[in-house]
A and B are shown apart, each in its own frame.
Chain A
């Protein structure tokens, strides 16, 4: 079966670091995406991992361990505008390469 788990909500303070975890179980694996979605808006692409390790993009980094079915999104130097939902999505090679989305983690950043 296909299953992606993320925490439902997280809170953090402006300027801090937060790590959002994602675990997945899919028939096949062909890449993991992280998207950011502000309330009422479209999801926008943040990062992509297909090999084990860390990918860094400015304040955002994403890590993948394929053997553990685990990824995390690391947000540094948090800003108020980072308050949003963060969606983890896995491309399932065994399911026509479609994206399977987690339910998202709603992050609230406080001053």
Chain B
């Protein structure tokens, strides 16, 4: 079984709709992240959390919100989806350790299309 899972894997929605992307992990990591990836722009950080109830904005948090109610789950919401939020979304986790131990482990991604 995968250590980091995301649901749904693909989603098509309409402008103005509210949608939620879910991320779950079995790695026991405290730190979780949401990124979006667009062609030519690389991975950009939306929100991150270092512990349950800890929420921090990344570089592109406008239009998004998150919830971290449990160590294993980190949800990303688009309150009112717009077409430029069409992207590939990745959840990632990491542990607090030394050096290489702090690498991030990524989920399989959610491909979102906003019409």
Contact among A8, A40, A96, A99 with B104 in the assembled complex (CB-CB below 8 Å): A99
Contact among B40, B41, B48, B109 with A42 in the assembled complex (CB-CB below 8 Å): B109
Q: Is the CB of A40 within 8 A of B109?
A: yes
- Contacting chain B: which of A11-19, A43-51, A74-82? A43-51
Q: Is the CB of B99 within 8 A of A48?
A: yes
Residue interface bits A84-105, CB-to-B below 8 A is 1, else 0 = 0001010100001111011110
Q: How many A-B residue pairs have CB under 8 A?
A: 45
B interface, size bucket: 20 to 34
B1 to chain A, nearest CB (A): 15
Q: B residues near A, CB below 8 A?
A: 40-45, 48, 56, 58, 88, 90, 99-100, 102-109, 111
Q: A residues near B, CB below 8 A?
A: 8, 31, 33, 40-45, 48, 50, 87, 89, 91, 96-99, 101-104
